[in-house]
Structure 1
């Protein structure tokens, strides 16, 4: 109880400090703090009330030294830990930096939605001239992480409660070739505490544009994890690994997306192998409470997949493009899709079936790029997987409804 009152006092003092009575931002000639109120919701915290703060040298617009991104929140349903916080501090390394090609170090600390994350990282970006669409990035991040409260997890079976000390090396390349834009992502992680294990995942995306409304997006994905890796780092057929849900406020805790939607198997978190037609089958194993059910939850240590989408003309998309100003940020797509994948069988007892699906979909995306031109917004999709190669007890051809958040094609 003493800790509770201490945290409440800290919230009040912090808020009073960063929001002076007669000003919007607290600043000096060398630094400014820009606060903004923040509200969010999940099924454990209820309405989470707090404040977010951006810190920067005046006039640098998130591109200067001593960048701060922080937040402090109070949960109105008063769970076991009613106060949560996040803070990130980034500072360029001048010796290794140039215009558009910054090197920086970063410190992050966070305790929110039942998850600890504290770490230090090094980041380096190489950009071709003034074209922010063509770049290479490399980062190394060391962190301590732990899921300390399963109540926040939409599917607790996908999480361990072990302490983890991790190192993650990741890289990204974006450029264009004779076909169109392409992007390569790869990450390699090492976990040292208790049992040592590794995880790797990589993807290649190629965009081929025939016309403004016609084109093909192709994605190749591979993921591998050690036999003793914790479940949040393993792969399902249909969705992103559970650890990736921590990086987005919409998926970080159950209830922001209503839990009945998640448990229905009709809502997908895009990522991983992304065999979207198998979302319902996978979710059935995620939510099973019977320890005797085989492969519950159905998670795979190694998988490779291909995802393809064919964009075609739709008059709604034409309508969006004709709306002044709005069309710069809002876009609508209609497409046919095909996914296929299978385990690499790097460990025993992995399924040896080839899983495939096909269907049609529509997506609505809001994108307000950041200062580096990277996508920043959301993608909401409605898809109809009408064919599965491994339908279980259903017919292979059947009209299925799937809603999705996020996109694997984010060029």
Structure 2
């Protein structure tokens, strides 16, 4: 179906020798839909003049002769052509509101900006307080501006992100994101193309390519803390110096009537020409298959990754982790594990990714240049008669029980270790009512607690069979 989108181009106002004004208004047709469209000018005395353009060509110009200089030029003032995008038509407003819970407000003639206070903590900054602004026009032209100030470090951080849809062609978008955050300066630019049949079972294809640059400004932030045998141990999560690399990926989700899948293939390549202190090339693939089922759901994941070529002095933030996501991903996507002290080490927080070997939360040294792993989950919704009414459903929401097993091998400098774990877990999901506190907490939460009670290579003299647990706020697979 053709879509209609006209915008104002160049507008010139020229004073003539007799004191009158000639105003030339360029109109551009941005989409395939064709409709006649009107241009309205407003004069200082509030009188108006209207002309119509047939809209057939890609661009056209209308000329107005007036005794006074026009104060405003508006395209399609009555939205007669039902343009799906009113930006660039001279009649947009800016509206600013607090970010209310469940706020879905997308007026056709306004760019909406919402604000919300930000509070967080880590051991370097102490209390981090700030504010976040989010803006969009009808779920497009999205931007986010965030600032934080550390009470102890006296440092001011800030990030800016902008992402419009259809930036270059239909199905494409680009994202610009950068700033300074918790001891690291960074900037990213990425392009994404999406294509597929979105109805019924048609697979969707996504291709992305981008460039990222990071620099460690303060090494005090470059550590993550872990609970190892009852002691807090700090592990380096970032290498000193500059890190510039390109990344590219392909993703597709074939599916059938009773099964679904998600396949991802990615490459990262750093080089001195890209601003990196270390040359490296990293490849990885992530394959997920699941059969939800009515009684028991079966969920499988396979993951493999390797560095090719140079393997000397690899940036620690890009190395593979047996336990979870690599540190670069955690920096961009997980404030809980971005810096030390952000979350309780005793919680054994798990950010899914990498080998996803949940039983090895107490062995953070398991980083490598090669990895292969497989994860299996059997999921079932459960109702516990007594606790369901007294505790679980009231406070934690719906409950899902999981039996899981993980197995993998990780290598570093040609030395490999084979790892495996198994256990039981619970996943809780709760939707919150519209209350004052949801302004801060959000309108829903998800909690996952896994108990990997068996591991094949326990820490030190620990038994293979032992009470262990990890906590997360998202699914493992």
TM-score bracket, shorter-length normalisation: 0.7 to 0.9
The answer to whether the aligner puts 1:237 opposite 2:306 as a matched pair is no
* Higher helix proportion: 1
Change (3 A) 1:379 1:317: farther
1:190 to 266, 269, 278: 269
Residue number among 151, 159, 162 corresponding to 1:89 in the alignment: 162
Judged with a 3 Å threshold, the aligned counterparts in structure 2 of structure 1 residues 132 and 210 are, in CA distance, closer, same or farther, namely closer
Q: Unpaired segments of 5 or more residues in structure 1?
A: 1-19, 284-296, 369-375
Matches within 5 A, 1:238-387: 238-246=323-331, 247-258=333-344, 260-261=345-346, 266-280=348-362, 282-283=363-364, 297-316=365-384, 331-343=398-410, 348-351=413-416, 353-365=417-429, 379-387=446-454
* 1:28-39 superposed matches below 5 A: 29=109, 31-39=111-119
Question: Could you tell me which residue of structure 1 aligns to residue 16 of structure 2?
Answer: none
Where do 1:52-131 residues align within 5 Å? 52-57=132-137, 60=138, 62=139, 64=140, 66-77=141-152, 79=153, 82-93=155-166, 96-97=169-170, 102-129=171-198
Q: Structure 1 residues 115, 332: CA separation in 2 closer, same or farther (over 3 Å shift)?
A: farther
Q: Distance in 2 between matches of 1:313 and 1:273?
A: 26
Distance 1:245 1:366, change over 3 A: farther
Q: Secondary structure at the match of 1:268?
A: coil
Instruction: Give the direction of change, closer, same or farther, for the CA distance of 1:393–1:85 in structure 2 (3 Å limit).
Output: same
**C-alpha distance 145-317 of structure 1, shift in aligned 2 (>3 A):** farther
Preserved contact between residue 110 and residue 118 of structure 1 (Cα < 8 Å): yes
For 2:469, which of 401, 405, 408 is the aligned residue? 401
Q: 1:313 to 1:84 in 2, by over 3 A?
A: closer
CA deviations 1:124-167 (Å, max 9, x no partner) are 12242356995322211112112222323324523201201110
Aligned to 1:17: none
Output the TM-score relative to the length of structure 1.
Answer: 0.74
> Which one of 40, 50, 69 corresponds to residue 130 of structure 2?
50
Structure 2 contact 381–399 (Cα < 8 Å) conserved: no
CA contact (8 A) 1:168 1:190 kept: yes
Alpha-carbon shift at residue 171 of structure 1 (Å): 2.7
Q: Looking at CA atoms only, which structure, 1 or 2, has the larger radius of gyration?
A: 2
For 2:350 and 2:217, the matched residues in 1 are separated by 25
Q: What's the C-alpha RMSD, in Å, of the aligned pairs?
A: 3.4
Deviations 1:105-139 (A, max 9, x none): 22111201112111221111224235699532221
CA distance in 1, matches of 2:193, 2:431: 24
SS of equivalent residue, structure 2 residue 368:
coil
Structure 1 331/125 Cα, relative in aligned 2: closer, same or farther at 3 Å?
Answer: farther
Mapped partners of 2:180, 2:384: distance in 1: 43
Instruction: Say if 2:198 and 2:204, in contact at 8 Å, map to a contact too.
Output: no
1:206 aligned partner: 289
User: What does residue 20 of structure 2 align with?
Assistant: none
Total equivalences in the alignment: 344
SS state of the match for residue 33, structure 1? strand
- Residue 180 of structure 1 and its aligned partner are, at CA, apart by 1.2
The residue correspondences of 1:207-226 to structure 2 (distance < 5 A) are 207-211=290-294, 213-226=295-308
Greater strand content: 2
Is 1:383–1:402's contact at 8 Å kept on the other side of the alignment? yes
The separation in 2 between residues aligned to 1:400 and 1:320, in whole angstroms, is 24
d(CA) in 2 for partners of 1:316, 1:110: 47
Distance 1:387 1:105 in 2: 44
**SS class of match (2:338):** coil
> What's the CA shift for 1:378?
5.9
* Whole-angstrom CA distance in 2 between matches of 1:175 and 1:317: 39
Query: In the aligned structure 1, how far is the partner of 2:205 from the partner of 2:339?
Result: 32
Paired residue for 1:288?
none
Note the alpha carbon deviations across 1:194-246, whole angstroms, 9 max, x for none: 331011222111111231x4111110011212413211111222222111111
Query: Could you list the runs of 5+ residues in structure 2 that have no partner in the other structure?
Result: 1-93, 99-106, 225-233, 433-442
Q: Which has the higher contact order (CA 8 A, sep 6+)?
A: 1
Mapping of residues 141-156 of structure 1, within 5 Å? 141-152=210-221, 153-154=223-224, 155-156=234-235
1:178 Cα deviation after fit: 5.0
